[in-house]
């Protein structure tokens, strides 16, 4: 209370007024500076030499400490502290060290406006012109700038006078006055730094050509993600060819819906169709096209959904293509849900928080209001958010239903458990409870694609990248059943090639989904999932026996194969697919032999969907600058895709044609 009384007394005191003698001295100094500038010759044409921001700040500080600007050492010491702090503030903010005298300042409050130097705005502008003129003259002589001229020292005199007044008991100058006092000219060509690109991408090498005699078995997990295609599309539309590691060929191929033949009953979750055809980019090679179609669950039979929206609202999400787009995307999904479905919302930024407890989709107004009320700010506490999301999913768990966390983010989990391996173990542990995880990526510059892929693969979910509202509509409305309603999990493919028919082979794409041969029969090894109506495509390029090989044959004979290479000599390969039903822990096996009955005589004889998917595969390989496509131009790819566009109700294939044209133009080929 005693302190409050003293503060009240101080608050009522009026600030001392400046002395008349100080005003007169400042006026004389300003007049002298004005007269000196009238004698300066106009600056020559051309770009004047201008010091860097740090050079100007250092020079100003040196002049102060050498007492060139102020005669009295006491005044120099008094000026040092506020000017040093002010200089450091703007250096840290990467802002030009230049301010307008008339600029309004509201960040510092004073009890009464401080007296301003007498120098008018025009005087300040002329002082700038004088500085530029002197610098330009020095450029013509190839000399560094000299110290401040007499006129410049005189122009700074009002600052000295005002600060001298404060030392003698006058009012302290405000921030606006300091801005006017200390204002060297900013370089005209100073550019603000560009935002750092912190996208994290998983690097990988293209699958090599393998000898069927030495290594006849290929094993991989299916991939139904589509993030790569959306990311490539955004890059091309922004006028840039995509980085090679952003191009995952299988995700580009599987982006499109195909009319593969599906199973007739839910007891068999998917059907496979294999077609062998000539390779359009190499007349000596063939393509083995493996198409898988999942059973399409009818809307009336769809199980109830228990969804938790885990939404990143950190400060980096404050961009139009991030949080606002995310909100619009989730509004679309909410409108797709059935009344008995459940929605919860968890946000994370600095720490996690529950925005919406489990709520029936029938209360759509409440859910949409919670989505619309999200605001960005803070760092990214992703681990805490995931744990809270899983807790809510367990709280409203639906037996024999869909229990899924849908993570929407632009990047890293930079607070808490941020290591990809730790996150992988976390989602692996939680998926055992029956709660799966899908990831939706937004924006650029901070996108952690590597993390998205890791936790989506190990959370029995999918990863998608949403760059437009149209893409949100595709992922969350058109493909909602594919994303939300799994019909099989841990789906693996293993192909054994017959060395009697196939000399070499190469799997196109799936580099990040490769499995060891022994993983195929190990039910503890995780793999991809197939949703209702999902289509999955895998393409092998094979070198028939007798055609020119890239790998030299073995000197001492061919390696032995499991089937002897004789009993089934007419087969190209043997395809095995292993999967689990959504609620099962034991896998089932589907097998099929690939023979000449699967072969078509020409590429044109293959179906439209096969040909279009191969055109997309060619485009992805071309963007990755793979050797197989070195002599196969964008024009050929465009012709292939145009001839196989077929039915295109949503315009996805027409858009693809436009992207091929863009890539061709950007490559200059």
652-667 vs 634-643: helix crossing angle, rounded to 10: 170
* Residue 603 CB neighbours (<10 A): 17
Q: Please, where in the chain does CATH 2.60.40.1230 lie? A: 210-298+487-667
Backbone angles phi, psi at 155, to 5 degrees: -65, -25
Percent of the chain whose predicted confidence (pLDDT) is above 70 = 66
Are 482 and 204 within 8 A, CB to CB?
no
Rounded to whole angstroms, the Cα distance separating 144 from 661 reads 51
- The residue ranking higher by pLDDT, 28 or 82, is 28
- The residue ranking higher by pLDDT, 10 or 548, is 548
Are 440 and 466 within 8 A, CB to CB?
yes
pLDDT in tens, 581-602: 888 889 999 999 999 999 999 9
> What is the structure's pLDDT at 107?
40
pLDDT above 70 (res 177): no
Domain covering 210-298+487-667, topology: Immunoglobulin-like (2.60.40)
- The residue ranking higher by pLDDT, 342 or 74, is 342
Between the alpha carbon of residue 595 and those of residues 276, 598, 607, the distances in Å are 9, 6, 18
C-alpha distance across the termini of the chain, in Å: 81
pLDDT in tens, 241-264: 999 999 999 999 999 999 999 888
> What is the structure's pLDDT at 59?
57
> What is the structure's pLDDT at 566?
59
Backbone angles phi, psi at 360, to 5 degrees: -65, 140
Between the alpha carbon of residue 179 and those of residues 97, 99, 101, 183, the distances in Å are 9, 6, 7, 6
Rounded to whole angstroms, the Cα distance separating 40 from 131 reads 10
Rounded to whole angstroms, the Cα distance separating 363 from 260 reads 38
Most confident of the ranges 401-405, 417-421, 530-534: 401-405
CA 321, distance to chain mean position in Å, is 11
> What is the structure's pLDDT at 24?
65
Percent of the chain whose predicted confidence (pLDDT) is above 90 = 45
Rounded to whole angstroms, the Cα distance separating 557 from 601 reads 32
Most confident of the ranges 100-114, 156-170, 184-198, 632-646: 632-646
Domain covering 303-468, topology: Rossmann fold (3.40.50)
pLDDT in tens, 327-356: 999 999 999 899 999 999 999 876 668 899
Are 187 and 527 within 8 A, CB to CB?
no
Are 6 and 120 within 8 A, CB to CB?
no
> What is the structure's pLDDT at 428?
86
> What is the structure's pLDDT at 298?
75
The mean pLDDT of the chain is 77
Of 471, 540, 40, 78, nearest in space to 286 by CA: 540
pLDDT above 80 (res 196): no
> What is the structure's pLDDT at 607?
96
> What is the structure's pLDDT at 361?
95
pLDDT above 60 (res 410): yes
Rounded to whole angstroms, the Cα distance separating 469 from 332 reads 9
pLDDT above 50 (res 223): yes
| pLDDT band at residue 422 using 50, 70 and 90 as cut-offs | confident
pTM above 0.85, yes or no: no
- The residue ranking higher by pLDDT, 558 or 371, is 371
DSSP 343-397: EEEEEEESEEEEEEEEEETT-HHHHHHHHHT----S---HHHHHHHHHHHHHHT-
pLDDT above 60 (res 46): no
pLDDT above 70 (res 233): yes
Classify strands 282-294 and 535-544 as parallel, antiparallel or unpaired: antiparallel
pLDDT in tens, 288-302: 999 999 988 876 677
Q: Which residues is 445 bridged to in the sheet?
A: none
Those residues whose C-beta lies under 8 Å from the C-beta of residue 481, and which sit 6 or more positions away, are: 296, 297, 302, 531, 532, 533
Are 409 and 313 within 8 A, CB to CB?
no
pLDDT above 70 (res 112): no
Q: Please, where in the chain does CATH 3.40.50.410 lie? A: 303-468
DSSP H or E run through 472: helix 469-473
pLDDT above 60 (res 142): no
> What is the structure's pLDDT at 28?
66
């Amino acid at each position: 209370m005693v302190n409050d009384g003293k503060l009240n007394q101080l608050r009522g005191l009026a600030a001392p007024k400046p002395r008349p003698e100080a005003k007169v001295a400042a006026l004389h100094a300003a007049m002298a500076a004005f007269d000196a500038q009238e004698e300066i010759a106009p600056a020559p044409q051309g770009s004047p030499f201008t010091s860097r921001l740090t050079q100007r700040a250092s020079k100003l500080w040196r002049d102060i400490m050498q007492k060139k600007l102020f005669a009295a050492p006491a005044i120099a010491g008094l000026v040092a502290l506020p000017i040093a702090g002010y200089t450091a503030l703007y250096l840290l903010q990467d802002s030009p060290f230049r301010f307008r005298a008339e600029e309004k300042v509201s960040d510092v409050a004073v009890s009464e406006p401080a007296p301003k130097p007498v120098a008018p705005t025009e005087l300040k502008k002329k002082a700038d012109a004088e500085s530029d003129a002197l610098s330009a003259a020095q450029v013509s002589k190839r000399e560094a700038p000299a110290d401040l001229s007499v006129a410049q020292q005189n122009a700074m005199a009002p600052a000295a006078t005002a600060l001298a007044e404060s030392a003698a008991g006058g009012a302290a100058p405000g921030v606006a006055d300091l801005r006017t006092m200390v204002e060297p000219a900013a370089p005209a060509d100073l550019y603000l730094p560009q935002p750092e690109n912190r996208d994290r991408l998983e690097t990988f090498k293209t699958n090599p050509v393998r000898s069927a005699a030495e290594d006849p078995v290929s094993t991989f997990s299916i991939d139904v993600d589509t993030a790569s295609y959306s990311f490539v599309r955004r890059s091309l539309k922004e006028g840039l060819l995509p980085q090679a590691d952003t191009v995952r060929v299988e995700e580009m191929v599987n982006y499109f819906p195909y009319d593969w033949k599906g199973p007739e009953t839910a007891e068999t979750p998917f059907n496979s169709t294999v077609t062998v055809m000539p390779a359009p980019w190499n007349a000596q090679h063939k393509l083995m096209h493996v198409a898988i179609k999942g059973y399409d669950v009818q809307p009336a039979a769809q199980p109830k959904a228990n969804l938790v929206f885990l939404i990143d609202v950190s400060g980096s999400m404050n961009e139009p293509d991030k949080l606002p787009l995310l909100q619009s995307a989730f509004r679309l999904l909410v409108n797709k849900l059935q009344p008995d479905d459940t929605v919860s919302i968890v946000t994370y930024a600095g720490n996690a928080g529950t925005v919406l407890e489990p709520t029936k989709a029938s209360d759509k107004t409440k859910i949409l209001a919670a989505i619309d009320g999200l605001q960005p700010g803070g760092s990214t506490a992703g681990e805490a958010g995931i744990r809270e999301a899983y807790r809510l999913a367990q709280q409203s768990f639906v037996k024999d239903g869909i229990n899924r966390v849908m993570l929407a983010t632009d990047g890293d989990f930079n607070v808490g458990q941020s290591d990809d391996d730790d996150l992988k173990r976390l989602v692996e542990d939680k998926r055992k409870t029956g709660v799966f995880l899908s990831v939706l990526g937004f924006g650029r510059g901070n996108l952690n694609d590597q993390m998205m892929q890791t936790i989506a693969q190990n959370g029995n979910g999918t990863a998608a990248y949403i760059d437009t509202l149209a893409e949100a509509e595709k992922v969350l409305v058109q493909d909602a059943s594919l994303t939300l309603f799994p019909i099989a999990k841990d789906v693996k493919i293993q192909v054994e090639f017959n060395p009697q028919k196939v000399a070499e082979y190469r799997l196109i794409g799936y580099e990040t989904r490769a499995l060891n041969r022994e993983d195929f029969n190990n039910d503890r090894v995780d793999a991809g999932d197939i949703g209702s109506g999902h289509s999955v495509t895998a393409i092998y390029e094979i070198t028939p026996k007798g055609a020119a090989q890239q790998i030299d044959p073995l000197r001492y004979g061919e390696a032995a194969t499991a089937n002897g290479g004789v009993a089934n000599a007419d087969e190209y390969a043997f395809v095995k697919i292993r999967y689990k039903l959504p609620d099962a822990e034991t896998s089932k096996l589907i097998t099929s032999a690939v023979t000449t009955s699967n072969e078509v005589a020409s590429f044109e004889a293959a179906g439209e969907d096969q040909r279009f998917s191969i055109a997309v595969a060619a485009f992805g390989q071309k963007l990755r600058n793979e050797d197989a496509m070195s002599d196969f131009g964008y024009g050929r790819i465009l012709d292939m895709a145009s001839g196989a566009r077929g039915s295109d109700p949503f315009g996805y294939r027409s858009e693809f044609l436009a992207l091929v044209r863009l890539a061709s133009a950007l490559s200059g080929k």
